[in-house]
Amino acid sequence: AQTVTQSQPEMSVQEAETVTLSCTYDTSENNYYLFWYKQPPSRQMILVIRQEAYKQQNATENRFSVNFQKAAKSFSLKISDSQLGDTAMYFCAFTITGSARQLTFGSGTQLTVLP
């Protein structure tokens, strides 16, 4: 079975600063995907970024980037130039290749961006 661990229940960051959210996972699979989703108060889960395990290059989407360490089973999210609209619950998620609709989620990190 796969597990995803987010050890930081809450974090805060000043507007325009950089913050890193941590995620570790455990799996015996070799082919998988990792995701970061955000859930603002509107409740809708929004995909922030995804990483394919076979790709060594870290994924980047504008101000969001990941540090994917496959051997260490670590998948952290870095948010640069934090904005007030980044305030949300952030979930790390995992899925086996070919089973993309069955995600295993971490417990989440509540990020608050302070003005």
What is the token pair recorded at 44?
Answer: 């809708």
Among residue numbers 3 through 32, which ones bind another protein (CB under 8 A)? none
What is the token pair recorded at 114?
Answer: 């302070």
Q: Are 108 and 6 in contact (CB under 8 A)?
A: yes
Q: Which of 24, 45, 70, 110 binds another protein (CB under 8 A)?
A: 45
Q: Which of 44, 56, 71, 115 binds another protein (CB under 8 A)?
A: 44
What is the token pair recorded at 21?
Answer: 């959210």
Q: What is the DSSP string of 63-75?
A: TEEEEEETTTTEE
Distance CA 10, CA 35 (A): 19
**Applying CB under 8 A, does 33 fall inside the site for another protein?**
yes
Total residues contacting another protein (rule CB under 8 A)? 24
CB under 8 A: which stretch of 15-23, 42-50, 64-72, 80-88 binds another protein? 42-50
Q: Which residues bind another protein (CB under 8 A)?
A: 33, 35, 37, 42-47, 50, 91, 95, 97-108
